[in-house]
Amino acid sequence: MEPKKLKSILESLLFISGEPIRTSRLAKICDIPKNDMEAALGELEQDFKREERGLMIIFKEDLVQLATDPQNQEFVNQLVSGELGSDLSRSSLETLSIVAYRGPISRVQIEVIRGVNCSYVLRSLLLRGLVERKEESDVRGYLYEISFNFLKNLGIGNVKDLPEWEKLSKNEKVAELLKTNLQEPEENAPPS
């Protein structure tokens, strides 16, 4: 693959992920060796620095994430504080409801239920302190759950105090949707 095209693909993947992603996963997606992936990420990082772009790449062990340049913090803070001062959007309320009734839940599972990318919405809910994320060793990525702040703002002592929690948290149609959409294709299943 042409280096320029690979860097373009990586920039798109890092942007759409919105969360740290393993370099090995990126290598698999792009169908290239891991060391070639690491080299391409290093080149992309240098491009961002050299061109004084508003983005940077953060590395931590085998994880990589796209982030904003700290030099633009003043402007980013204005945007974020504007978001936090406004009411929750419909997509934020939908996502928050899914996390409240189905959490802990992964971003991928939320996206299966909603049918759209939820990275931006989850970031907003995290910044508002309404959801928390935790990393689980048996799951790729993070699991999202409601925060104490969410419970405090609603004036409830437990997530089970939400309206119709028992019925909605165990909805069989949602469980089947998640099961159907998150199963590995048979050709990718490990041999028995």
| pTM of the predicted model over 0.75 | no
- Both 91 and 28 in one domain: the answer is no
The count of structural domains within the chain is 2
Whether 103 and 161 map to the same domain: the answer is yes
Structural domain including 175 reads: 87-182
Residue 48, domain CATH: 1.10.10.10
Structure tokens, 117: 């990318």
The answer to the question of residue 188 being in a domain is no
Q: Per-residue pLDDT for the chain (192 aa), expressed as one digit of tens each?
A: 888 999 999 999 998 877 788 899 999 999 999 999 999 999 999 998 899 888 888 888 788 888 888 888 788 777 766 555 567 788 888 998 899 988 888 888 889 888 888 888 898 898 888 898 887 656 567 889 888 778 777 777 778 888 888 888 887 777 777 777 666 444 334 443
Any domain includes 159: yes
Both structure tokens of 131: 């959801």
Amino acid, single-letter form, for residue 182: L
Domain identity same for 116 and 170: yes
Residues 128 and 63 in one domain: no
119, two tokens: 């990275």
Q: Is there a single domain that holds both residue 51 and residue 99?
A: no
98 and 172 share one domain = yes
Same domain, 23 and 91: no
Residue 191 lies in a domain: no
Is 111 contained in some domain?
yes
The full length of the chain comes to 192
Q: Provide the token pair at 38.
A: 């690491």
Do both 101 and 173 map to the same domain?
yes
Decide if 43 is inside a domain. yes
Residues 47 and 109 in one domain: no
pLDDT digits (tens, 9 = 90+) for 105-153: 888 888 988 888 888 889 889 888 889 888 765 656 788 988 877 877 7
Number of H helices, E strands in the chain: 10, 6
